[in-house]
Amino acid sequence: MEINFPLILVVLTGISGVMWVLDKLVLRRRRGDAAPSAVVEYTAPFFPVLFVVLVLRSFVVEPFQIPSASMVPTLQVGDFILVNKFAYGLRMPVTQRKFVDIGEPQRGDVMVFFPPNDPRYFIKRVVGLPGDHVQIFDNQLFINGEKVEQRRISTPYLAGYGYDIVEENLEGSRHLIRKHRVPGRLGRRLSVVVPDGHYYMIGDNRDNSSDSRDWGPVPEENIVGKAFAIWMHWDDFFSFPSFDRAGKIK
């Protein structure tokens, strides 16, 4: 079962906030110099810290860890990233309802979101905007009939299956992708028009990514934020954290 951390944080902040108000404005005047109750004493002091964490996490920046290889080579399993929570507008915690409109996703952005009918966080690249005609033929991407420029960088091998590392230029967003020379199921043939208010998301590991090609375009209200930096890499508890990969996400 997925833990709804935003909801837990909101509930804890609300409870500690009520206790803090009671302590500061009501109970203190009534009891004079008497000690506060155990509930108030152990709950109220957490409110300022929880409130700051809630504000920063909901409206400024939120950390995530990459759990899968769907964004290789851009993001590796074990990368710790930072997500800008206001790049696409301010949203209420838990409900994700936007109340301040700041900007919109652009082609090439790396975005964190909730897929349709799935409560888990996903991270992919924005390939199609509302109204775009997205096509794929043998792992070659086309947007509105225009071929997206791809330049092969290297051709390493993995477990006997050949794949290419390619630099893709998506309207000025230059980034690396990985694709098999013999396209897999999702890279053979695709043609879809992105509905209004939706975005088409595809992983940079084109033949090893569950994305919009599987479960469809992502509704605007499911957006969480824009991934903009790697700040640490840590494989597991048996290794040491590394900062060699720290930097801006392209």
pLDDT value for 159: 45
Segment 39-48 shows an average pLDDT of 79
Least confident of 131-135, 160-164, 181-185: 160-164
pLDDT value for 103: 92
Amino acid identity of residue 245, one-letter, is: R
Q: Which residues does residue 165 pair with via DSSP β-bridges, in sequence order?
A: 154, 178
- How is residue 230 written in tokens? 């790697």
Pairing type for strands 79-84 and 122-128 reads unpaired
pLDDT, tens digit (0-9, with 9 covering 90-100), for 179-237: 988 888 889 999 999 999 999 999 999 999 999 999 999 999 999 999 999 999 998 87
pLDDT value for 161: 64
- How is residue 250 written in tokens? 């392209």
Phi-psi map region of 139: left, alpha, beta (phi>0 left; psi -120 to 50 alpha): left
Give the pLDDT band of residue 8 (cuts 50, 70, 90). confident
pTM: 0.87
Catalytic one among 16, 58, 124, 179?
Answer: 124
pLDDT value for 236: 82
Give the span between the Cα atoms of 222 and 61, in whole angstroms.
Answer: 17
Angle between helices 47-59 and 5-21 (to 10 degrees): 140
pLDDT value for 226: 97
Contacting residues for 180 by C-beta, under 8 A, at least 6 apart: 139, 161, 162, 163, 164, 187, 206, 207
pLDDT value for 23: 75
Least confident of 120-124, 129-133, 178-182: 178-182
CB 245 within 8 A of CB 233: yes
Segment 164-181 shows an average pLDDT of 93
CB 111 within 8 A of CB 201: yes
Give the span between the Cα atoms of 47 and 43, in whole angstroms.
Answer: 7
| Average pLDDT of the residues of the chain | 89
Give the span between the Cα atoms of 197 and 141, in whole angstroms.
Answer: 22
Give the pLDDT band of residue 9 (cuts 50, 70, 90). confident
Amino acid identity of residue 11, one-letter, is: V
Catalytic one among 16, 58, 70, 212?
Answer: 70
Give the pLDDT band of residue 18 (cuts 50, 70, 90). confident
**pLDDT top residue among 153 and 36:** 153
What is the dihedral angle through the alpha carbons of 54, 58, 61, 64, rounded to the nearest 10 degrees? 90
**pLDDT top residue among 159 and 233:** 233
The answer to whether residue 33 scores a pLDDT higher than 60 is: no
- How is residue 238 written in tokens? 């048996």
CB 228 within 8 A of CB 152: no
pLDDT value for 94: 84
Give the span between the Cα atoms of 98 and 103, in whole angstroms.
Answer: 11
The answer to whether residue 1 scores a pLDDT higher than 50 is: no
Q: Where are the domains of the chain?
A: 5-55, 60-248
Q: How is domain 60-248 classified at the architecture level of CATH?
A: Ribbon (2.10)
Q: Which residue has the tokens 């810290």?
A: 49
Contacting residues for 39 by C-beta, under 8 A, at least 6 apart: 19
Segment 76-89 shows an average pLDDT of 96
Local structure of 142: helix, strand or coil: strand
70 an active-site residue? Answer: yes
Give the pLDDT band of residue 142 (cuts 50, 70, 90). very high
pLDDT value for 31: 52
Give the span between the Cα atoms of 216 and 207, in whole angstroms.
Answer: 16
Segment 117-130 shows an average pLDDT of 96
